[in-house]
Each structure stands twice: as C-alpha cells, then as structure tokens.
Copies of this chain bind each other. A is one copy, B any other.
Amino acid sequence: MIIITEPTATEEQIERIVTRVQEFGLEAEVSRGGSRVIVEVSGPSELVRDPRLSSMPGVEAVVPAATHYKLAAFEARGTASKVDICGVSIGGDAAVALICGPCSVESREQMLSIAHRVKDAGARILRGGAFKPRTSPYSFQGLQEEGLRFLAEARNETGLPIITEIMDARDLPIVERYADCLQIGARNMQNFSLLKEVGRSHLPVLLKRGFSATINELIMSAEYILSGGQEHVLLCERGIRTFETATRYTLDLTAVPILKAKTHLPVVVDPTHAVGLRAFIPQMALAAIAAGADAIMLEVHDSPELAKCDGEQALIPEMLSKLFPRLRAVANAIGRDL
C-alpha cells in the first residue's frame, strides 16, 4: 500500500500518518523530494488492506498494493494448477473438458437417459442440480437427497464423475456422500459462511462468479475457500448483469484470460445461463475455448419442452453431438485437446 500525501500536508500530519501505520504493526518507508511525501506501507497483508488511513488529514490518495490474494495468485504456485475430479483433470495443459447435464435432476429416468446421451456426445463430467436456488419460493426447489441418489446412480452406470450445487453449509455431509465436486452457485459467491465450510471439504469446489461480482471479488471468494485448507478450486464465468436485455446476462469472456493471468486456478465457462437462448450457445462455447477456457459447462436436456426449469436454454443431445467436433477443432487450433 502506498500513501500519497497532499502537497499541503504538514509535517505534523505526515508524522501522525506514520505513527498510525506503525500502531497497526506495519512498516512505513517515507520518500521525499517533490511537493508530496510518499509513504510505502508493508507488513502482513491482512493488516495492510485496512482502508482506515485514507480518511486521515493530509492524505491525498491510498494506492492499494497490486495483489491481495496469497493463495489464489498465480505467483503462489508459479504455474497453472490442475484439479482432478475422479480422474478427469482440468486446467494447466490438460485437455479441455466438457461438463454436461440437466439444470435440475427431475427423475431417475431423466437423469440416467441424459447421462448416457451426454457421455456418448463427448462429455467427461456430469452435472445436475438437486438443491436449486430459485428466485421464487413457489418454484420447484429440487429433489434434494433423492436427486443426489439419481446422480450417483447415473455416475455408476456411465463412469462420469458428478458435480452438484450446495446451497447450505448444513447440507455438506449429505452432498459429500454422493458428489465428486461441489458447486457454489452465483448467488452464493459471497456467502462467506458457506465458502469457509466447503474450504474444509475433501472434494474439489467449482465456484461460480456472482452475476454482479467483479473479477477481483471472484478471486477473493476463491481465497476464502483456499484459506480453509482446500487446494482444489475451479473458477467459473457464467455471465454478469448489464443493461443489455437481448441475453439473460452478458458473458464476460475477457474474464477467462484475466483469471488465468492473475490466478493459478482452472477456469470454466458456462455459456448456458449467461446467454439463455439455445441458438447462440454453440458459438459462445466455441469462443470460450478460443479465449482459453479449461472446461465448458453446458446444460443438456433430452426433452426441453418438459424441463422443470430454464427449458429454453438447454441444448438437446443431438446439438451437443454436432457441436463436439467443432469444439475439438477450435481447441486443436489453439494447441489444446478436448
């Protein structure tokens, strides 16, 4: 952190600033020469982030240190991490992975049928929601434990590992019993209690970006999970909220190369929820791979007009089968497998 004083700051004000910095257990280095005095502050990062200095008399600006992430920062490992989900590697130089499945688990038949179809079409991980965050209390809230059982049965039949959302810390024991990877949904990206809890799980965690979270806040939420001891976190871009109404959210693909530069964590892109319109999802999946995504998450349903939620946006298995070779071609074009 660098404190820049006003040109009119008095010596007494500068001394008071330095004293305060030291009271916080931090070190202050003072630079002089121009009309302003510059105070560089260093020390343990949890103290340095404190904004209380900017309100002191004589302070013109406080420039934060460039990075606040101890564990998520690329520099923390110096290389891109791979996360292993039951034998499927995501990140680093691993092949791009497809994560497919329905929005919600609706029935045993549906789950098994879709699982087989997405496996045949090239998916390597299965997704499906058993606990559903719904805007209205009167909407379908998910099959809960029964849904987890159907997911597990689909894994046993197909061999595809499963990823599913957890919404409440109290559900962790039950979700851990069935899932291979935990998902934190966009609405819970800053549910810090839940983040701390999944930070203690033995399962990897896929963290979705809140729809109005900055890239920096997404990384800070990953830092919460990592600081609990968890080593396996995937970041997922799924669209942010803007004024544009032609799409549900605006897919922020620039977040992909930025997250990969700032952190060592694998980056997943979920175009389905961002775009919300089936016809445009294939193009955005292709673009996500070109932008450097390590995995693509796609909603697939075999009977979209019956889907219990978000039916307009799911791909049907035939679309996925046709899309797969195109995704692979783009991955190859940028030097990756799929």
Does any Cβ of B come within 8 Å of A94's Cβ? no
Instruction: Give bound CA distance, A314 to B22, whole Å.
Output: 24
Please tell me the size bucket of the interface on A.
35 or more
Report how many copies the assembly holds: 4
- Residues in chain B near residue A15, CB distance under 8 A: none
Question: Do the beta carbons of A284 and B257 come within 8 Å of each other?
Answer: yes
- Residues in chain B near residue A223, CB distance under 8 A: 136-138
Closest to A71 in B: B137
Closest to A210 in B: B212
- Residues in chain B near residue A63, CB distance under 8 A: 4, 61, 63
Does any Cβ of B come within 8 Å of A149's Cβ? no
Does any Cβ of B come within 8 Å of A241's Cβ? yes
Interface-lining segment among A29-37, A83-91, A154-162: A29-37
- Residues in chain B near residue A53, CB distance under 8 A: 305
Tell whether A253 pairs with B256 under 8 Å between CB atoms, given A31-B34, A55-B305, A220-B135: no
Question: Do the beta carbons of B30 and A33 come within 8 Å of each other?
Answer: yes
Does any Cβ of B come within 8 Å of A129's Cβ? no
- Residues in chain B near residue A4, CB distance under 8 A: 2, 38, 63
Tell whether A211 pairs with B214 under 8 Å between CB atoms, given A29-B35, A170-B169: no
Tell me how far the C-beta of A75 lies from the nearest C-beta in chain B, rounded to whole angstroms. Answer: 14
Tell me how far the C-beta of A173 lies from the nearest C-beta in chain B, rounded to whole angstroms. Answer: 13
- Residues in chain B near residue A61, CB distance under 8 A: 63
Tell whether A68 pairs with B241 under 8 Å between CB atoms, given A31-B34, A32-B33, A187-B191: no
Beyond contacts A51-B312, A251-B254: 17 other A-B pairs, Cβ-Cβ < 8 A, are A2-B36, A4-B63, A33-B38, A135-B220, A137-B192, A137-B196, A137-B227, A167-B191, A187-B191, A211-B212, A216-B246, A244-B252, A257-B280, A257-B283, A290-B330, A326-B333, A330-B333
